[in-house]
Amino acid sequence: MELCIIGSGYVGLVSGACFAEIGHTVVCVDNDQRKVDMLQRGEIPIYEPGLEDLVHRNVAAKRLRFTNSIADGVDHSQVVFIAVPTPPQADGSVDLTYIERVAREIAGVLKPGQYRVVVDKSTVPVKTGEKVDATIRRYNPAAEFDVVSNPEFLREGCAVPDLMSPDRIVIGSASQKATDLMKRLYEPFQSPILVTDVNSAELIKHAANSFLSLKISYINAVSAICEASGADVEMVADGIGTDKRIGRNFLNAGLGYGGSCFPKDVKAFIAIAEELGTPFHLLKEVERINSHQLDRYLKKVREALWVLRDKRIAVWGLTFKPDTDDVRNSVAIDLINRLVAEGAIVTAYDPKGMEKAVEYKLIPPSVKLVSSPLEAVEGAEALLLATEWKEFARQDFAAVKASMHTPLVFDGRNHFNPKTMREMGFVYYGVGRP
Ligand code: NAD
Using alpha carbons only, what angle is made at residue 262 by residues 256 and 264, rounded to the nearest 5 degrees? 120
Closest by CA to 145, choosing from 153, 136, 154, is 136
Q: Quick one: pLDDT at residue 252?
A: 98
CB 152 less than 6 A from any atom of ligand 1 = yes
Q: Quick one: pLDDT at residue 340?
A: 98
Backbone angle region of 306, left / alpha / beta, with phi > 0 → left and psi within -120 to 50 → alpha: left
CB 262 less than 6 A from any atom of ligand 1 = no
pLDDT tier at 245, thresholds 50, 70, 90: very high
Q: Quick one: pLDDT at residue 193?
A: 98
Q: Quick one: pLDDT at residue 102?
A: 98
Residue 7 Cα: closest atom of ligand 1: 7
Percent of the chain beyond pLDDT 70?
100
Gap from CA of 124 to ligand 1 centroid (Å): 12
Gap from CA of 12 to ligand 1 centroid (Å): 7
Mutate to test the pocket of ligand 1, among 5, 6, 10 (most ligand atoms within 8 A of CB): 10
Q: What are phi and psi of 127, to 5 degrees?
A: 90, 0
Closest by CA to 79, choosing from 133, 141, 148, is 148
CB 122 less than 6 A from any atom of ligand 1 = yes
> Distance (Å, rounded) from C-alpha 375 to C-alpha 373?
6
pLDDT digits (tens, 9 = 90+) for 63-80: 999 999 999 999 999 999
CB 10 less than 6 A from any atom of ligand 1 = yes
The three-state secondary structure class of 384 is strand
Q: What is the mean pLDDT of residues 29-34?
A: 98
pLDDT tier at 95, thresholds 50, 70, 90: very high
Q: Quick one: pLDDT at residue 262?
A: 97
Kindly list the catalytic residues: 261
Which residue ranges form the domains of the chain, and what is each CATH number? 2-196 (3.40.50.720), 211-429 (3.40.50.720)
Q: Quick one: pLDDT at residue 318?
A: 98
CB 154 less than 6 A from any atom of ligand 1 = yes
Q: What is the mean pLDDT of residues 349-374?
A: 97
Q: What are phi and psi of 119, to 5 degrees?
A: -110, 120
Q: Residue 257, CB half-sphere, CA atoms under 13 Å: how many?
A: 26
CB 163 less than 6 A from any atom of ligand 1 = no
What is the average pLDDT value for the chain, to the nearest integer?
97
> Distance (Å, rounded) from C-alpha 211 to C-alpha 209?
5
pLDDT tier at 161, thresholds 50, 70, 90: very high
Percent composition of the chain: helix, strand, coil (DSSP 3-state, to 5) = 45, 15, 40
pLDDT digits (tens, 9 = 90+) for 97-129: 999 999 999 999 999 999 999 999 999 999 999
Under 8 Å between Cβ of 366 and 389: no
Q: Quick one: pLDDT at residue 207?
A: 98
Q: Quick one: pLDDT at residue 404?
A: 98
Mutate to test the pocket of ligand 1, among 46, 202, 260 (most ligand atoms within 8 A of CB): 260
Gap from CA of 7 to ligand 1 centroid (Å): 6
Report DSSP letters for 301-363, one per residue. HHHHHS--TT-EEEEE--SSSTT----TT-HHHHHHHHHHHTT-EEEEE-SSSHHHHHHTT-S
Residue 155 Cα: closest atom of ligand 1: 40
Q: Counting Cβ atoms within 10 Å, is residue 342 exposed (0-12), middle (13-18) or buried (19+)?
A: middle
> Distance (Å, rounded) from C-alpha 124 to C-alpha 97?
11
Q: What is the pTM of this model?
A: 0.95
CB 260 less than 6 A from any atom of ligand 1 = yes
pLDDT tier at 54, thresholds 50, 70, 90: very high
Closest by CA to 334, choosing from 362, 368, 374, is 362
